[in-house]
């Protein structure tokens, strides 16, 4: 690929948001530079987040029931790392990283995997 075709990443420090193969161009949307620590004993997972979230912001995952007639289950959490800014060269919107209390992590992760979760933002 000719030089200058892709945007330059002037300071490539940060956390990679996805696997990058040797020789693959490093895009600004591949790096996260702002992150807060997860509370001790909490687990982190990726999920899609609403626009405008900030590191450390409180969230509420609403886990929708797997079976008809079940009740939604709230799961408190915090944003560890927001998704990167949108990138016209990316194939899809990238997820952010959230922390969830250990006792709710399995339920929340299963719901995210099955697309049975929505995210509410705290103030």
77-120 pLDDT, tens per residue? 999 988 876 666 666 667 889 999 999 999 999 999 999 999 99
pLDDT in tens, 82-94: 887 666 666 666 7
Q: What is the DSSP letter of 29?
A: G
Closest CA to 59 of 123, 121, 112: 121
Rounded mean pLDDT, 67-73: 91
With beta carbons less than 8 A apart as the criterion, state whether 52 and 83 touch: no
Closest CA to 89 of 2, 14, 7: 7
Domain boundaries, the chain: 34-121
pTM: 0.68
What the block records as the tokens of 90 is 């990316």
With beta carbons less than 8 A apart as the criterion, state whether 49 and 98 touch: yes
């Amino acid at each position: 690929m000719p030089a200058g075709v892709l945007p330059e990443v002037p300071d490539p420090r940060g956390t990679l948001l996805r696997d990058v193969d040797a020789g693959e161009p490093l895009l600004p949307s591949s790096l996260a530079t702002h992150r807060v620590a997860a509370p001790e004993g909490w687990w982190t997972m990726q999920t899609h987040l609403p626009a405008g979230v900030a590191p450390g912001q409180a969230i509420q995952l609403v886990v929708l029931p797997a079976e008809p007639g079940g009740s939604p289950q709230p799961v408190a959490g915090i944003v560890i790392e927001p998704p990167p800014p949108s990138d016209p060269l990316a194939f899809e919107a990238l997820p952010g990283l959230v922390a969830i209390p250990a006792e709710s992590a399995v339920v929340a992760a299963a719901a995210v995997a099955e697309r049975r979760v929505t995210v509410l933002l705290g103030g």
